[in-house]
Chains A and B, each alone.
Chain A
């Protein structure tokens, strides 16, 4: 360790403390204060009795594998906060809880890519695909669609930044020049004979009790599941579950794909309702990739 690493480490510690402080209340709220509890914020409901999902939800829009904005006053989500993975953090929370993210360390040092690959929750590929994943990862600066300003897709986008909830459909806005319109009127998913291959697929929503279940098929294979070369096939199926409790919204996605040994459960995310009723979404800026031409190595992270 060089002397330069000392202040970096200090900063990581400070940041970790901040992450813990920022993320712990949301996790406890979801886990210990269900809607209807004495201290809970009531869950508003629509005419059909289902939870009202309308609102701007802080923390959506990008980096579904681990990034999340925590400031409920944020109106945009282009920001990606450092979510450092620390073994002590993993041990401090029960497995499967919202706080149990597999955070990645981004430290701008030469080993940053290695650190980011050391996430605990990763999709398990069938052996015949391991070489491909590795090759994509090693050349990720040039090949990662997110780095090329292409859509991150589902589920990498994470939870939506804003939801417009009507009786028959949900509109998810992501702040990444991406919008999904999801019917909740009972229509079925299209049969495979009608698939065309889409960036965000075709989605259908339905309620299971108070939980919204969104199933999506008909993807292309251009997007990745995550930073370390995690590709998927056109046969992927993604099932997202959204549950509102008071002013929090819990999002979780499960990826089923023939290239995987078993379904991959994406780290759950709990986002919070923007308390500012007058909050507006920021403009989605155009994206231009001009950095790759200046890169002299394949280092990542």
Chain B
């Protein structure tokens, strides 16, 4: 796993277990799910309500290069997120520009993509339930 993109913004967080299910791909082939999750601090760029996974885009500053990077974080299916109470940006929840703190398993190919594990909203709430297809088992 490469952490070079993350610079000083990274705080490694180990999640103890947590069994999930994914309606789509083998995330093992794509993300370093056996490693530690990283913490990304940035601002919301956009959310994509598409299948097979909803996507969350966060703009994060790379402390090493000073460049702003777009991190695309894979979430569960949109319908599942809605049932679990994930706020829709167009309804007064999160909106572009809001400060966001997310934890994610990073991509194995070194790209700025990840598998979302939790998200902390501007009002302080932390959403972990089914962010990538699992029930709320990690708590």
| A interface residues with partner B (beta carbon < 8 Å) | 4-12, 14-15, 18, 62-63, 67, 74, 76-82, 106-110, 112-113, 141, 147, 149, 282, 285-289, 291-292, 294-301
Contact = CB atoms under 8 A, between A and B. Distances in A.
Interface of B is mostly: loop
Interface in B20-50: 20-30, 33-34, 49-50
Contacts, number: 128
Contacts of A74: 83
A110 B30 contact: no
A101 to B, nearest CB: 14
Contacts of A76: 79, 83
Contacts of A289: 52
Interface of B: 16-30, 33-34, 49-53, 74, 76-80, 82-83, 107-109, 111, 113, 133-135, 137-138
A291 B34 contact: no
A11 B19 CA distance: 6
A7 B17 contact: yes
B18 A80 contact: no
15 contacts: A7-B16, A7-B17, A9-B17, A14-B137, A79-B76, A79-B80, A80-B23, A107-B19, A109-B28, A109-B34, A285-B50, A289-B52, A292-B25, A295-B30, A300-B26
Contacts of A82: 19-21, 134-135
B56 to A, nearest CB: 13
B79 A282 contact: yes
A275 B76 CA distance: 26
B107 A294 contact: yes
B137 A294 contact: no
A286 B25 CA distance: 17
A296 to B, nearest CB: 5
Contacts of A110: 28, 34
